[in-house]
């Protein structure tokens, strides 16, 4: 016997046999809201007052009950296109209340999704639990009622199911990585990252698995993509665990026996880059630790500097504004320093610099030069730049120097 099938994850649809109704058909928004609300609350009766408040809120209506009956009539006419047997109704009413007809043979994806998760809690083995998780992952194809996810009644449900999905994906990824099910793991990660772009846990295991399967080129490329996505597109910091992956992604493939001339050519090839050397923070740490040893041994003054971009009121910048500021700031730092100086992105709003063989006075002069150049090149940037710096390798006689807002923009 055919079942009525309802999909709410991703594109909303309701089908019976080969008949399908989706949000893409030209129907009123209120009609879809009415149907979706009744499906989401299919286990209870819903009063006229609740439905009127859902559709019109505090807006005045001369005849709200009549308007509701008109909307329900249009909804029933639409659902009649499914051609259920024996004239069965999907929406029924009783004593002034309305409800989804639970006597119908029906399969709703969010009910099945949640049932699979609850069943997994009492699973008797890791294998059973993973199989249930895989079925749940297959069901989840996007946000709950994606086109309506910002509606006040949909948002909490969407957050609940989305969080549950991410939890299931994370546990499944860990299990699959442990047992070396790399092919399935990569497929799960690819799907999950189209739904949840900013989960660095999923990105972390995706890159690790690419390495394990020998696809180092894609792993390196994806690492760079994620760092740009977090820092530049959204102005947030990836986790330290994700950043640590850099140690693996920078490894080059090398044959057992390399010609010395090829080796030297690779090392000498610096391209056409000018200005200071930019590197990812894990590599910056190696440079810094080497510089400390050399600075201590030769008593050579070297300073560590931190530049932070903030709003005019010294609060965090909005992601879109932060992206513009840090892009311009990075270029300004690069062209203001010597080619032997090194700098890196420390966080979404900060850059760290290493100024070698530079006195305290010279370090402050360099930092002020960067700030002045930034202000000159970007007069309309609505931000401030703050800095701190201190000598590396030994305790300073004075506390770290701060650049206050007078050094900003």
What's the pLDDT band for 405 if we cut at 50, 70, 90? very low
Determine contact, residues 197/184, Cβ cutoff 8 Å. no
H/E segment holding residue 389: strand 384-391
The domain boundary, picked from 78, 104, 130, lies at 104
Determine contact, residues 314/395, Cβ cutoff 8 Å. no
| Residue 390: inside a domain | yes
User: How confident is the model over 3-36, as pLDDT tens digits?
Assistant: 999 999 998 999 999 999 988 776 788 889 999 9
Q: Indicate if 238 and 119 belong to the same structural domain.
A: yes
What pLDDT, on a 0 to 100 scale, did the predictor assign at position 153?
95
Q: Indicate if 399 and 301 belong to the same structural domain.
A: yes
Q: How far apart are CA 120 and CA 107, in angstroms?
A: 19
| Residue 258: inside a domain | no
What's the pLDDT band for 177 if we cut at 50, 70, 90? very high
Number of Cβ within 10 Å of residue 281's Cβ equals 17
What is residue 10's DSSP assignment? S
Q: Give the chain's domain count.
A: 3
CATH code for position 340: 3.30.70.270
Residue in this structure with the two tokens 């979706």, named with its chain if needed: 36
The domain boundary, picked from 86, 104, 122, lies at 104
- N-terminal to C-terminal alpha carbon distance within the chain: 71
pTM for this model (two decimals)? 0.76
What's the pLDDT band for 228 if we cut at 50, 70, 90? confident
What pLDDT, on a 0 to 100 scale, did the predictor assign at position 407?
42
What pLDDT, on a 0 to 100 scale, did the predictor assign at position 300?
84
- For residues 250 and 232, the model is more confident at 232
Q: What is the mean pLDDT of residues 316-342?
A: 89
User: How confident is the model over 128-141, as pLDDT tens digits?
Assistant: 999 999 999 999 99
| Residue 281: inside a domain | yes
| Residue 84: inside a domain | yes
Q: What is the mean pLDDT of residues 383-391?
A: 92
CATH code for position 87: 1.10.10.10
Residue 97: which domain range?
4-104
Write out the E strands in 3-58.
4-7, 13-16, 19-22, 46-47
User: How confident is the model over 94-118, as pLDDT tens digits?
Assistant: 777 999 999 999 999 999 999 999 9
State residue 83 phi and psi, 5-degree precision: 60, 55
Q: What is the mean pLDDT of residues 307-336?
A: 89
Q: What is the mean pLDDT of residues 306-325?
A: 88
Strand partners, 386: 308
Q: What is the mean pLDDT of residues 331-347?
A: 90
């Amino acid at each position: 016997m055919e079942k009525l099938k309802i999909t709410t994850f991703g594109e909303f649809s309701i089908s019976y046999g080969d008949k399908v109704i989706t949000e893409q058909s030209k129907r009123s928004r209120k009609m879809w809201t009415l149907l979706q609300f009744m499906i989401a609350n299919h286990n209870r009766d819903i009063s006229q007052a609740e439905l009127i408040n859902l559709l019109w809120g505090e807006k005045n209506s001369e005849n709200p009950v009549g308007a509701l009956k008109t909307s329900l009539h249009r909804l029933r006419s639409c659902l009649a296109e499914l051609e259920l047997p024996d004239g069965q109704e999907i929406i029924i009413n009783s004593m002034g209340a309305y409800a989804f007809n639970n006597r119908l043979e029906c399969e709703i994806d969010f009910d099945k999704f949640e049932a699979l998760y609850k069943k997994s809690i009492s699973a008797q083995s890791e294998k059973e639990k993973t199989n249930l998780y895989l079925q749940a992952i297959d069901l989840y194809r996007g946000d709950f009622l994606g086109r309506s996810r910002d509606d006040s009644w949909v948002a909490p449900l969407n957050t609940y199911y989305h969080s549950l999905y991410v939890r299931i994906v994370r546990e499944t990824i860990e299990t699959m990585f442990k047992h070396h099910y790399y092919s399935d793991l990569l497929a799960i990660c690819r799907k999950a990252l189209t739904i949840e772009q900013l989960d660095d846990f999923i990105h972390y295991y995706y890159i690790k698995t690419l390495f394990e399967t020998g696809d180092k080129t894609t792993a390196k490329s994806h690492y760079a993509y994620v760092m740009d996505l977090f820092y530049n597109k959204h102005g947030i910091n990836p986790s330290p665990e994700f950043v640590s992956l850099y140690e693996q992604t920078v490894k080059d493939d090398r044959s057992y026996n390399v010609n010395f001339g090829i080796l030297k050519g690779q090392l000498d090839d610096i391209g056409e880059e000018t200005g200071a050397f930019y590197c990812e923070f894990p590599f910056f740490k190696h440079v810094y630790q080497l510089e400390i040893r050399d600075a201590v041994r030769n008593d050579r003054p070297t300073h560590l500097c931190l530049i932070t971009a903030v709003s005019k009121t010294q609060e965090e910048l909005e992601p879109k504004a932060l992206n513009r500021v840090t892009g311009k700031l990075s270029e300004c730092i690069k062209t203001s320093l010597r080619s032997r100086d090194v700098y890196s992105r420390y966080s979404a709003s900060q850059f760290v610099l290493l100024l070698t063989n530079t006195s305290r006075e010279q370090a402050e002069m360099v930092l002020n030069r960067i700030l002045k150049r930034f202000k000159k090149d970007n007069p309309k940037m609505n931000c401030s730049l703050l800095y701190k710096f201190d000598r590396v390798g030994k305790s300073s006689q004075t506390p770290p120097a701060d650049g206050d807002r007078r050094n900003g923009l």
